[in-house]
Amino acid sequence: MRLAAALGSTCRIIAPDLSGYGNNPGPFTLPTTLSQEVELLADRLNQSAGPIHLVGHSYGGAIAFKIATASAFASRVRSLTLIEPVLPTLLREGVADRRLYERFAGVAQDVCVDLWRGLALEAIDKFTDFWNGSGPPEQLSPAARLRMIEHADKLAFDFTAVLAEENVERAAAALRVPTLLFSGGLSPYLTQRIVERLASIIDGADARHLPAAGHMLPISHSTIINPEIARHIARADELAGLALASSQPPAWLLQPGLVQ
């Protein structure tokens, strides 16, 4: 894990597979809300008693946002890094942004219809075409394509969860933890706009835009992004240390954090 290497030994790294992905099959009934996704991560989050530094990308970014704003773990979050979080309902109410929301909802419907018809390959093609944004078409390797086919049904649940999320703007406005945001200039404009809106709403948010990056920027541009995340986490720890120095013993500051 490249981010773990950038952070060194300062944090305890926990990178759980989300339900329905990797080695985590999830419950029999997969989650259809971000709150349910957070509940399924509770055991992993409870593995650390210290402060939490959350790092999330795409759908994982939406879950990280939910943890930081509306969960039992919110008070433990010391910093938040969101890389193109999928929070489309943030754009639903604004007249200028509504077409972006409607475009995303249309893609979601098309993908879900294909999945219901058993057309996994067609669903995956529509999904990847959307996330390619304005970048060059990406040819998936046979192994990557097979992994997507194996987990294709989860896409319908993920779309349902992000499209059901309410009050994103209100939650963002209430955030009071150091927040770092990333977007790529070749990504779908939907996610670029979500990051722009979050940057304007979250108090003190620090936004970074990489013009030549696409939606998979945590991988393609890790050499740029990871040092920024490491500095963001170190700064958040420094600020917390200054605030607590007069009332907490120094040993408390040495407790490892948790990065998702």
Q: pLDDT-derived band of residue 19, with 50, 70 and 90 as boundaries?
A: confident
Q: What is the pLDDT of residues 43-61, one digit of tens each?
A: 888 887 789 999 999 999 9
In the prediction, which pLDDT does 10 show?
67
pLDDT at site 1: 61
Please tell me the predicted confidence (pLDDT) of residue 257. 32
Q: What is the pLDDT of residue 241?
A: 80
- Report how far Cα 203 is from the mean position of its chain's Cα atoms: 19
Residue 242 has pLDDT above 90, yes or no: no
The answer, yes or no, to whether residue 103 has pLDDT greater than 90, is: yes
Q: Report the candidate in 236, 239, 241 with the shortest Cα–Cα distance to residue 252.
A: 241
Contacts of 183 (CB under 8 A, 6+ apart): 83, 84, 191, 192, 195, 196, 207, 208, 209, 210
The structure tokens listed for 81 are: 């890094």
What pLDDT is stored for residue 243 in this prediction? 62
User: Rounded to an integer, what distance in angstroms lies between the CA atom of residue 8 and that of residue 198?
Assistant: 29
List CB contacts of 185: < 8 A, sequence separation 6 or more: 192, 209, 210, 211, 212, 213
The whole-angstrom separation of Cα 207 and Cα 180 is 6
Who wins on pLDDT, 148 or 31?
31
- Measure the CA–CA gap between 82 and 94, rounded to whole angstroms: 22
pLDDT band at 127 (very low <50, low <70, confident <90, very high): very high
Of residues 223 and 140, which shows the higher confidence score? 223
- The answer to whether the CB of 174 falls within 8 A of the CB of 187 is no
pLDDT at 2 over 80: no
